[in-house]
Amino acid sequence: MTPAIEAGDLGKSYRGRWALRHASVSVPTGKVVGLVGANGAGKSTFLHLSVGLLAPSEGEIRVLGGRPGDGREQLAKVGMLAQDTPLYGSFTVADHLELGARLNPSWDSAAAEARIAKVGLDQKQKAAALSGGQRSQLALTLAIGKRPELLLLDEPVASLDPLARREFLQDLMELAADGLSIVLSSHLIGDVERVCDHLVVLVDGHVRLAGDIDDILGEHRVITAPRLRPDQPTDDEVIERTDTPRQTTLLVRGSGPVLDPTWTSTDVGLEEIVLAYMARPATTSPTLSSVGGVA
Amino acid sequence: MTWLAWRQLRTQAAVVAGALVVVVIALVVTRTHVVDVYSPSGDHELTGIYVWLRLLGTVLIGLPAAIGAFWGAPMIASELEGHTQRLAWTQSITRDRWLAVRLALTAAVSVAVVAIFAAVFTWWCAPLDATDVNRIAPANFAQRGVVAIGYTLFALALGVLLGAVIRRTLPAMAATLLAFLVARLAIQKLVRPHLVAATTLRTDPFSPGPRGAWTLSTRTVDAAGHQVSAQALENHLVKACHLTRATPDVDQALANCAHRLGFDNLTRAIPSSSFWQLQAAELVVFVGLAAIAAAATFWWIRHRAT
């Protein structure tokens, strides 16, 4: 099956500064994918590359088998809700629906109208007068009204209050249940954990971790042991190491058996795993030898 | 896409169309009086409100620059500023088509407005041009005929390009005004004199030059064909014909003396009869520049804009 997004050594630089580099990642279809990273980690760049708003500086990216932004068929397949939900301030809600209908051959007018009615938007209201939550709902309606196969959302809930956020994420889960592939970027790991089943972690423009959330949770654990020598070997890849005078705590990836009876192994939450990856120095590659001095 | 382009233009287009209607009505209603004033029995001078109406020609000169700044520069810059290009360029329509439709519609509306204005104003001025006014000289040339259409297309395309490159509306508007002004004056000074053939006329010094023509240069030569400066000519004549301050009608005496000694004025000028030829040539120049700017904009938004 064609992946939703397939990137190979993808890079994008702005005036010599790399916003994204050596990104190789395959995003499956039919899933809700969370794109997580700090501000400036390259999330927006990755999404803009995926929809064709940006062209890669190096490497290559295929979206649903095609080159992003390459012709109307490709554009029709991908819906985009950009950051800060750009809308035309002087256009009414109805104007925006008209825009969607005029510019998208596959526009589902009935569904879009129904959606606007359901979220309680007044069609005659100008976009400039809408609240953050209403803007998001209108922009989402535009993005899904064209009936895309893949929906990209750049920080869709950042400007929403908690209630609007919950409703918005609920809507996303309903869309995913209908078989739409969704990639959403966020720096709120809690939201991602609630709605996503696949995760891509970006750190300083590099892909640090990618996989199904269930697998990620299964592969990582915390090992607590009496204080270890810095060079004491472990079977697993150490993501994060904390030493106190009495004990050593390791966040490891791998499922090797814990042989030493003085060691204990516990499960670990997604947020802790993601934060550990985000905190790793950008220059190290995720190999055993380079982490925490463990040789 | 035409719907979107028109939706983004319609309010301003309506205002401009309204203003145009007022101008056209004012010119149509007042033209009979202009015909009377410039008839053989008229006094050949416009007064009162008619002085102001004639100044509409200055508005016509400024209109292309205004269209470039207010319709051209914001076309892409305001989208980039408000990030709405991320909405427009992710619909099921290519960027090329988006730009082509927006450019074409705005150009069509702009050209319609300017062409109607210029045509009616040219017609209003026809009685002046037929008798008193030199329509091919730079002061009036741009207020007549078809060149304003070329200026408009170029200013618009230049504004769109600068807006795409500069990415901010206000600086792009300012840059458009400045760049258009520089280009327009540079072409008037450096290119226009070469667009059609100039003729050289030989006249007596101190006589008025060719009437109704655009004088490019004048020089005075002696009987042997050597160029002389105005000061040298006067010194020479004063000495040769024994002229003094006391000589009656000294100007006429100077002219007679110069004629007798074989001095001539050589005037390079473009005659009034070349008016439409020059209009067409300058229109072509500006339409060509507009096409270059538009092509550069297509390249830019395909390869550089985000």
Reported as a single tens digit per residue, the pLDDT across B124-181 is 999 998 888 889 999 899 999 999 999 999 999 999 999 999 999 999 999 999 999 9
Q: Do A86 and B89 touch (CB under 8 A)?
A: no
Q: What is the pLDDT of residue A226?
A: 85
Is the Cα torsion angle A205, A206, A210, A213 positive or negative in sign?
negative
Tokens (6 digits) for B282? 């300058």
Name which of A153, A180, A157 is nearest A44 in CA terms.
Answer: A153
Element containing residue A203 per DSSP (H, E): strand A198-203
Q: Do B7 and A91 touch (CB under 8 A)?
A: yes
Reported as a single tens digit per residue, the pLDDT across B204-247 is 888 777 778 899 988 889 888 888 888 888 888 888 888 877 77
CB atoms near residue A286 (< 10 Å): 15
Question: Residue B220 gets which letter from DSSP?
Answer: E
- Residue B90 is nearest to which of A75, A95, A102, comparing CB atoms? A75
* CA–CA–CA angle A178, A179, A181 (5° rounding): 125
Question: Residue B132 gets which letter from DSSP?
Answer: T
Q: How confident is the model at residue A288 (pLDDT cuts 50, 70, 90)?
A: very low
Mutation for testing the A interface, residue in B86, B94, B96 having most A CBs under 10 Å? B86
* CA–CA–CA angle B137, B143, B146 (5° rounding): 100
CA distance B153 to B289: 9
Q: Is the confidence at residue A284, as pLDDT, over 60?
A: no
Per DSSP bridges, beta strands B214-221 and B227-228 are: antiparallel
Flag whether residue A63 sits within 8 Å of chain B, measured between CB atoms: no
Residue type, A11: G
Q: Do A99 and B4 touch (CB under 8 A)?
A: yes
Flag whether residue A256 sits within 8 Å of chain B, measured between CB atoms: no
* CA–CA–CA angle B72, B76, B81 (5° rounding): 125
Q: What is the ipTM of this complex?
A: 0.87
For residue A7, the SS3 value is strand
Query: What percent of chain A has a predicted confidence (pLDDT) above 90?
Result: 56
Q: How confident is the model at residue A291 (pLDDT cuts 50, 70, 90)?
A: very low
Please identify which residue in the block is written with the tokens 């904009």.
B297
Better-scored residue on pLDDT, B171 or B262? B171
Most confidently predicted of A161-175, A182-196, B103-117? B103-117
For B67, how many CA atoms within 13 A lie in the half-sphere containing its CB?
30
Q: Is the confidence at residue A233, as pLDDT, over 70?
A: no
Mean pLDDT of all residues in chain B?
Answer: 92
Flag whether residue A128 sits within 8 Å of chain B, measured between CB atoms: no
Mutation for testing the A interface, residue in B90, B101, B299 having most A CBs under 10 Å? B90
CB atoms near residue B261 (< 10 Å): 15
Mean of pLDDT values over A286-291: 36
Name which of A190, A194, A196 is nearest A211 in CA terms.
Answer: A196
Reported as a single tens digit per residue, the pLDDT across B235-251 is 888 888 888 777 778 88
Q: What is the pLDDT of residue A2?
A: 85
Please check whether residue B152 is in contact with residue B114, taking contact to mean a CB–CB distance below 8 angstroms: yes
- Residue in chain B lying closest to A107 (CA): B92
Tokens (6 digits) for B291? 């096409």
Mean of pLDDT values over B90-110: 96
Q: Do A79 and B90 touch (CB under 8 A)?
A: yes
CA distance B154 to A128: 33
Q: Do B82 and A86 touch (CB under 8 A)?
A: yes
For residue B144, the SS3 value is coil
CA distance A66 to A51: 11
> Which neighbouring-strand residues pair with A201?
A36, A209
CA distance B172 to B179: 10
B-chain CB neighbours of A78 within 8 Å are: 90
Reported as a single tens digit per residue, the pLDDT across A123-155 is 999 999 999 889 999 999 999 999 999 999 999
CA distances from B36 to B23, B55, B132 (A): 21, 19, 14
Q: What is the pLDDT of residue A238?
A: 85
Better-scored residue on pLDDT, B89 or B231? B89
Reported as a single tens digit per residue, the pLDDT across A39-90 is 888 999 999 999 999 999 999 999 999 999 999 999 999 999 999 899 999 9
Cβ-Cβ contacts under 8 Å for A92 (sequence gap 6 or more)? A123, A124, A125, A126, A127
Burial code (b: 16+ CB inside 10 Å, e: under 16) for A123-141 equals eeeebeebeebbbbbbbbb
Reported as a single tens digit per residue, the pLDDT across B289-299 is 999 999 999 99
Q: What is the pLDDT of residue A282?
A: 55
Q: Is the confidence at residue A27, as pLDDT, over 60?
A: yes
- Residue A54 is nearest to which of B4, B87, B306, comparing CB atoms? B306
Cβ-Cβ contacts under 8 Å for A57 (sequence gap 6 or more)? A11, A12, A13
Mean of pLDDT values over B45-73: 94
Mean pLDDT of all residues in chain A?
Answer: 88
User: DSSP string spanning B112-123?
Assistant: HHHHHHHHHHHH
Name which of B178, B254, B182 is nearest B220 in CA terms.
Answer: B254
B-chain CB neighbours of A91 within 8 Å are: 7
Q: Do A88 and B3 touch (CB under 8 A)?
A: no
Query: What percent of chain A has a predicted confidence (pLDDT) above 70?
Result: 93
Q: How confident is the model at residue A281 (pLDDT cuts 50, 70, 90)?
A: low
- Residue in chain A lying closest to B85 (CA): A86
Q: What is the pLDDT of residue A289?
A: 33
CA distance A122 to A56: 40
CB atoms near residue B130 (< 10 Å): 12
- Residue B3 is nearest to which of A52, A55, A98, comparing CB atoms? A98
Q: What phi-psi label fits residue A64: left (phi over 0), alpha (psi between -120 and 50 degrees) or beta?
A: left
